[in-house]
Amino acid sequence: MEELIDRQSPLRVRQFGSFYVGGRMVRLEGLPPRQRISTPGGPVHPIDPNGEIVVGQMYVQYVRLAEPRSSVPLLMWHGGGMTGVNWETTPDGRPGWQMFFLRAGFDTYVSDAVERGRASWAPFPHVYPEAPYFRTANEVWEDVFRFGPVGSWDADSAKRCTHPGLRFPIAHIETFLCQSVPRWDCNNVATQQAYDALLQRFDDGVVILTHSQGGNFGMTAALRAPKRVRAVISLEPSGAPDPAKHDARLLKDVPHLFVWGDYLEKHPFWVASLPASQRWRDALQDAGCALTWIDLPALDIRGNSHALMSDDNSDEVASLVLDWLCQRIPFHPQRP
């Protein structure tokens, strides 16, 4: 599909903008008065922190092309402890998957889910019942993103070691860590509701592309609105619907793609997380769903971390996804 993508000509953009989905007003009460200084050297203002705030909203930023080649937009849903920034420029400064799919002819809708980034977050314990946690570099490196074996992170960069053949641009690990945001375990219901509400805005259908924690939200959203979803692409989903609780037959007409990188078996987090996706894959297959399960190392594409869209072969992986997708949705020939 590489030949389908014009990497040189300017993108012709109809509109760039954003909106919010969901959100409800809650009232904070019982908080002590505060003083605030809004700017260096500015006056002190008394404020009453009690009152209404909006919580539970999700942020969505869109780029609408003048002449999209795909008849349906691409919704790009990030993983846990992350925001839509994951889809933008890679940590080493290359165009990310958002640019890739814009150049391929898709309108893109990149979201920051509830509690993250431009979606904001709500006070704890007043609204969220608990404090967030901040993912450490250690957890990023050894546990979730699989940059190196367990025990290989060190605060001293000279003492770190990576998996042999790793494709993640490790010299730019600090830029990648900049993309992290705090996360909570208590907002799954609100997040799913926001994604479900987002789909209701698209009467003519969408493609859902997710990463990691976004995977379960994406597959569940498709279950709840199968007629609105033309395809579901899950990059290393950390979870999936439980076939004992959900009827995969609802999705028999919705093609699904799973993509997996390297080193999974070396990381307990992934060994424990993978079976949920395998069970849902099997249920989808039994239901007659058009399903593709790409294990990149089996295609001799080795060295991919969990950050598939940031790895130095990110465009190669994106091309596999585009190739799969173009065969399954209406796609116009190249515009003049």
Q: Which of residues 99-118 bind a copy of itself (CB under 8 A)?
A: 99, 102, 112, 117-118
Binding flag, residue 19, a copy of itself (CB under 8 A):
yes
Which residues, other chains included, contact 174 with Cβ-Cβ below 8 Å and sequence gap of 6+? none
125: cis peptide before it, omega within 30°? yes
Place of tokens 């899950």: 234
Identify residues 55-84 at the interface with a copy of itself (CB under 8 A).
57, 59, 61, 63, 65-66, 80, 83-84
β-bridge partners, 210: 77, 234
Pair of tokens at residue 13 = 């953009």
Scanning 196-204, 221-229, 231-239, 257-265 for contacts with a copy of itself by CB under 8 A, the matching segment is: 231-239
Backbone angles phi, psi at 59, to 5 degrees: -100, 135
CB of 26 to a copy of itself, least distance (A): 10
Binding flag, residue 121, a copy of itself (CB under 8 A):
yes
Binding flag, residue 152, a copy of itself (CB under 8 A):
no
Separation of alpha carbons 116 and 255, rounded Å: 29
Separation of alpha carbons 148 and 266, rounded Å: 9
Identify the residue among 5, 74, 75, 98 touching a copy of itself (CB under 8 A): 98
Amino acid at 314: S
- Comparing CB distances to a copy of itself, the nearer of 135 and 228 is 135
Residue-by-residue DSSP string for 169-186: -GGGHHHHHHT---B-SS
Binding flag, residue 187, a copy of itself (CB under 8 A):
no
Binding flag, residue 164, a copy of itself (CB under 8 A):
no
Place of tokens 């585009």: 322
**Nearest C-alpha neighbor of 310 from the set 188, 102, 169:** 169
- Comparing CB distances to a copy of itself, the nearer of 11 and 171 is 11
Binding flag, residue 7, a copy of itself (CB under 8 A):
no
Which residues, other chains included, contact 273 with Cβ-Cβ below 8 Å and sequence gap of 6+? 238, 239
Binding flag, residue 10, a copy of itself (CB under 8 A):
yes
Which residues, other chains included, contact 297 with Cβ-Cβ below 8 Å and sequence gap of 6+? 261, 262
Binding flag, residue 327, a copy of itself (CB under 8 A):
no
Which residues, other chains included, contact 312 with Cβ-Cβ below 8 Å and sequence gap of 6+? 92, 167, 168, 169
Binding flag, residue 247, a copy of itself (CB under 8 A):
no
CB of 300 to a copy of itself, least distance (A): 30
Place of tokens 């515009």: 335
Binding flag, residue 39, a copy of itself (CB under 8 A):
yes
CB of 138 to a copy of itself, least distance (A): 4
Count residues binding a copy of itself (CB under 8 A). 95
CB of 241 to a copy of itself, least distance (A): 8
Separation of alpha carbons 168 and 170, rounded Å: 6
Identify the residue among 1, 160, 161, 175 touching a copy of itself (CB under 8 A): 175
Identify the residue among 70, 210, 273, 304 touching a copy of itself (CB under 8 A): 273
> DSSP assignment, residue 119?
G
Separation of alpha carbons 102 and 14, rounded Å: 12
Binding flag, residue 133, a copy of itself (CB under 8 A):
yes
Identify residues 281-320 at the interface with a copy of itself (CB under 8 A).
none
- Comparing CB distances to a copy of itself, the nearer of 144 and 257 is 144
Binding flag, residue 179, a copy of itself (CB under 8 A):
yes
CB of 335 to a copy of itself, least distance (A): 11
